[in-house]
Every structure is written in structure tokens, then in C-alpha cells.
Structure 1
Amino acid sequence: MEIRELRAFVAVVEAGALSKAARQLHVSQPALSQTITALERRLGVPLLVRTNTGVEVTDAGTTLLGEARAVLARHDQAVAALARHTTTGVLRVGVPLELPPRLLPTALARLAEDFPDTRVQARHLSSVAQVAALRAGELDVGLVRERPPGPDLDAALVVAEEVGVLLAADLAEKLGSPVRLEDLAGLEWFAFPRAGSPAWYDELAATLRSHGLDIGPEVPEEQRLIVELKIPAVSAGGAYAFAPPEWPYPMPDTVRWRPLAGNPITRRTWAVWPATSHRRDLAKFVAALEGHRAD
């Protein structure tokens, strides 16, 4: 049995339904169902009974549940204990979309000066997925849009960006600069799925509503935000999208970036890592990120 299979099984039992567990684990429901089925096939016994309202645990499943929880707790304890002795090796970093272009290169360059043997592996993940990966021992540090609660993770604010708006060129000329949020009424917000960063989405949605804007229906969870689609979405003139001043993507003549009057939207990025970590290379990396903000 693999750790990921045991973690998936426990998640399904605790959630009471495959669909809910799949959302928590950030995998598709069919993929999660295949994992459970493969585990049952390997053990040779049914672990769950699928019903119209969710899942029920069999006697064999109840036995496995207790053992799986013990194994996962011991695994996480071992990972945390070993991390105390780790100073170099692989630093697994979670990365969101649209970081300032100089943030990571500067931090990585400073890390390489003191820890040349540390290799960095980056994964593009939503904030929620990064926090889950940190708690599962699959990431060493994440860059997230909202500070997670709880004492198990430490955090440091590394970026605070006054967000502006992307508009079709002719509309941008008509509205002038800076653009008032209320002047965007009647346009469609090119949004991101709330499930990826609920607190940041809710903060942004509340700001839009307070300026009389209709935020429209939520984007489906499975429809991931693709940054490059912002340009064609707004170029026709019927939509707007938010972007930081240093948006690191090519800007065609059909689209303009404009600041917002009063800077009503600030997007924050936090570095988050396990509170039990004693890695010196991780500390150097976080300090370099914080130094970029001070600069």
C-alpha cells in the first residue's frame, strides 16, 4: 500500500462521500474512485459501500481506517523529524500564477549563494492545493494568496500589490486613468475558481459588490484559470480582468492596463512553511523573499 492510497481512503471515510473528498484532495472524483478500487483489489476485500447519499465503511474498512490513521501519523512524524536535520537537498516550492517577475529569480539567486547544493523544484498550484500539500509533507514552502489558519504552519508576507484592471484599448481610453471600479458596471468579470483561494476570492468579490458590480456566477472548480486567456477575454470589450502593475505577460495593442482609483484592491502573497521546519536553506529562501518586499 502507498501513503497516497491510505491518505485518499481516510479522506473519503472522513468526508463521507467521494465527491467531497475529491474536492478536498484536489483530484477528480473518477481518479479518486479508481484509487480506492485499486486499494480494494490489492487487499482483496471491499472497504466501502457506495450509496446514493455517499459511502459506508465495511468491517474491513473500519479495521483499515484505524491502521491507516496510525501509519499516516507515524509517516508525518518521521518526515517532520528528518526535516530538522535537513539543511540542503531539494526545496519543493509551491508557486501561484502572476508573481512579480523579479521575486523568484532574486530569491533563488540569494539562496544559491549560501546553499549551492540545494535544488529547487517548483509546482504551480492554487493556494488551497499548496496548503494541503504542505500539510501532507509534499511541499517545503508555498506562495499563497491567503494566510492559512492554525499553529502548524508559519507565514510571512512577501508581496503586496495594488491591483489594476485590464480593459479593451478603446474602452480604456474612454474611461481614462485611473479607472473607477463602479465604471466597470455592465462588464463581465474574468474571474478565477473560488475553490482555489476562497478567502482572496471573497475579499475581491466583496469589494466589487461594495462598488455596485455584479460578480456573476462562480467559475466551476474544474475550470482552472489560464492567464493567457485574459487577453482575448477583455480585448472584445465585454469583460475586464485584474492584473498587477508588473504583469509578466505580453500586452497587445488591443488591451490596456489601468490603475484603479483609490487602489481598492490589494493582492497579498504569503510564504508559508511547516512550523516544525528547521531547514536553514528554507529560512534563507524565505528571508530573500521578504527582502524583495523591503526593497
Structure 2
Amino acid sequence: MRAFVAVVEEGGLSAAARRLHVSQSALSQTVRSLERQLGVRLLVRDHTGARPTEAGRTLLDEARTLLARHDAMIATITGLPDEHAGSLCIGVPLEFPVDLLPPVLAELSAAHPQVTVNVRHSPSTAQLAELLAGELHVALVRDRPTDPRLDSVLAVEEAMGVILPAACAEEVAEAGDVPPTHPFSGASPRPPEPAGIRLHRLAGMSWVGFPRSDAPAWYDQVTATLRTHGITAVKLASGEDHPVTPEVKLAAVGTGRAFALASPGWARPLPEGLAWHPLIGAPLVRRTWAVWRAESRSRELAALIAALDITAV
């Protein structure tokens, strides 16, 4: 609602985005989300800017009243003025989905425009140490912590696929064939199976892995699943104590009969000669958890966590 009010008061998305310190695309997405929730069109957009519809004009008065009441209530309860809030620092692992944080941060900025957000990349284990040391407010990690001093919610689930040399993919990939149906079973024809690769077909190849110290529980889950499918060779492309960046991972895959795990949201173009394929049956699902200190009472942090919690959707 803060985003909507800003657009109406500024007369357009670009001016409102500057006022709220968010990108115009993120602000537009926030307003469209509000329109979907309410089931009505709130703004008319043209080359001159944006103006409210009849429903938008009705909402504008209600929104201003509600926001003013909300801010007054929060100030009364916390005893803090609106300008008190400072910054939030978020830890992010490598290969985090690029489309997740922008709308989350836009929602946070619309509700708490005075808050600044800093993002830093580091392994899961390092993030948890920084969180407990007070250097981070939120850690986005692959392993869900069991420390009672920390709370967590599930933020991302990704069914992993594989990147491998195109020549190897031609040997092991399966087309989307229709499974046979017994002629006397009376059953309806089954839908085609998804095209992709069955994990056991990669036996004899090496997995280009990450250091176990990055995320021990996720590493153990991956290696155990690979072993049950006949894959035992692990190729650490950057040593035990260095993170495996996307560039290093792709270079290692391109050297021979090796594969790497990657989500469907892999955002970078693949070098010539490499291909990405889904794993049939989704045997490996990578989860990312949003973690924070259980003692925290920050309303800005609570808003950020609520936006990250996929189980609340």
C-alpha cells in the first residue's frame, strides 16, 4: 500500500521508485501484486504517468488512513520514532536464485523506506558464525541449523539438474517417451515422462562438488544420494577451503567426463559444448533456509522474514 500511495502521489512509477529507493520494475511488480490480491485495477498507466482508477481513488484514502494508524501504533508500542530504523545485513550463498531477493527487498522498502539493506556472499557455515557474532541479521543457508539461539524458515526449494558435456548428454539423456500400457490392463494411457537424465546413468562420471565445509549436511545428502546411484567420484575444482564459483565449476566440467549440479534457474549462459538437463524424478532438492537470531524483535527483520517464508504463501 505504501508503494501504491507513492505512485499516486508522485504521478508515475519512475518518480515513486526514486522516492522509495527501489527499481521501477520491482515497484511495478509490487503494485501488480496488490491489484491481483484485491481483484481490481488500481492504476491507469500511459505516456504521461499513472493515475488512480475509481477503485484506486477509494483505496487511496483508506490506505493513507491505515498507514498513518499503523505507523502511530508501531511508534506507540516500540517507543521508537519512525526514523529510528537503520540497516539490515543479509548473507547470501553462491548460486542463489537471482529473481528471489529483488521483489522481497522492494516489499520491505515499500513498508519501511527508511531501512537500508546490505547483501554479502559467503558460505553457509561462515554466515551462521557471522549471524551469532552480530555481523549479519539474516543468513540464507543450505543447512537448517539446530542451534536453539536461531530461528529459521524455508525460503527456496530447487530440484537440481546437471550440467555436463554435450557429448556425454547425448549418451545418457532420455527423450520424453510415452510409457507403455499393458493392452489388457484397462488403464488409461499414461502421460509422457519428462525428458532429462536419470541419475544412475551418470555412474562412471565425476561430480564437480563444493567443499564440505561450506554446507556439511547438504554435502552429505548429495554424496549419499550419488552413492546410492553408483556415483562415487568427487572432483573438487578449487580445493577444500575455497568456494567453487560458477566459472570454476564450468571449467571443471568442460575438462572431461564430469558433471555439476545446477538449478533450473541457472542464470548464466553455458559455454559451447556444455548442456543443462533436469534429473528425472528430482532425486536431489536443494533447500535454502532464512535464519535469524531468535532473540531479535526488529519489526523490519520480521517483515523481511515474512516475505522470504515460502510456507506462508
TM bucket normalised to smaller:
0.5 to 0.7
- Shift, 1:261, TM fit: 1.7
1:84 & 1:265 partners in 2: Cα distance? Answer: 48
- Shift, 1:98, TM fit: 1.1
- Shift, 1:223, TM fit: 2.5
* Residue ranges of structure 1 left out of the alignment (5+ in a row): 1-82
Q: 1:230 aligns with which of 249, 260, 285?
A: 249
* Residue ranges of structure 2 left out of the alignment (5+ in a row): 1-77, 175-195
Q: 1:189 aligns with which of 188, 197, 207?
A: 207
- Counterpart residue type for residue 285 of structure 2: T
Asked if the contact 1:167/1:239 (under 8 Å) is kept, the reply is: yes
CA deviations 1:133-156 (Å, max 9, x no partner) are 111111100000011112100000
Q: Is residue 104 from structure 1 mapped to residue 101 from structure 2 by the alignment? A: yes
2:233 & 2:218 partners in 1: Cα distance? Answer: 14
Q: Is residue 247 from structure 1 mapped to residue 266 from structure 2 by the alignment? A: yes
Q: 2:233 aligns with which of 215, 218, 222?
A: 215
- Shift, 1:254, TM fit: 1.6
Map residues 24-35 of structure 1 onto 2, 5 A cutoff: none
CA 1:258–1:91: 2 relative to 1, 3 Å: same
Map residues 40-59 of structure 1 onto 2, 5 A cutoff: none
The percentage of counterpart residues that share the same residue type is 47
Q: 2:309 aligns with which of 266, 290, 295?
A: 290
Map residues 127-166 of structure 1 onto 2, 5 A cutoff: 127-166=124-163
CA 1:183–1:84: 2 relative to 1, 3 Å: farther
1:155 & 1:243 partners in 2: Cα distance? Answer: 24
Asked if the contact 2:213/2:241 (under 8 Å) is kept, the reply is: no
CA deviations 1:70-128 (Å, max 9, x no partner) are xxxxxxxxxxxxx9979721101100011112101111111111011111111111111
Off by >4 Å, runs of 4+ in structure 1: 83-87
Map residues 253-272 of structure 1 onto 2, 5 A cutoff: 253-272=272-291
CA 1:174–1:282: 2 relative to 1, 3 Å: same
2:148 & 2:272 partners in 1: Cα distance? Answer: 48
Matched residue SS, 1:194: coil
- Counterpart residue type for residue 249 of structure 2: K
Between the two proteins, the alignment pairs up a number of residues equal to 212
Asked if the contact 2:208/2:235 (under 8 Å) is kept, the reply is: no
Tell me which residue corresponds to 2:28: none
CA deviations 1:255-280 (Å, max 9, x no partner) are 11101121100000000000000111
Normalised to the residue count of structure 2, the TM-score between the two structures is 0.63
1:159 & 1:171 partners in 2: Cα distance? Answer: 30
Higher relative contact order (CA 8 A, sep 6+): 1
Tell me which residue corresponds to 1:176: 173
CA 1:112–1:209: 2 relative to 1, 3 Å: same
Tell me which residue corresponds to 1:90: 87
1:84 & 1:185 partners in 2: Cα distance? Answer: 62
CA 1:242–1:90: 2 relative to 1, 3 Å: same
Structure with the higher helix share, 1 or 2: 1
Asked if the contact 1:142/1:272 (under 8 Å) is kept, the reply is: yes
- Counterpart residue type for residue 100 of structure 1: P
Asked if the contact 2:306/2:312 (under 8 Å) is kept, the reply is: no
Asked if the contact 1:84/1:279 (under 8 Å) is kept, the reply is: no
Tell me which residue corresponds to 2:122: 125
Q: Is residue 205 from structure 1 mapped to residue 205 from structure 2 by the alignment? A: no
CA 1:161–1:87: 2 relative to 1, 3 Å: farther
Tell me which residue corresponds to 2:110: 113
1:285 & 1:96 partners in 2: Cα distance? Answer: 17
2:300 & 2:107 partners in 1: Cα distance? Answer: 10
Asked if the contact 2:197/2:277 (under 8 Å) is kept, the reply is: yes
Tell which structure's C-alpha radius of gyration is larger.
Answer: 2
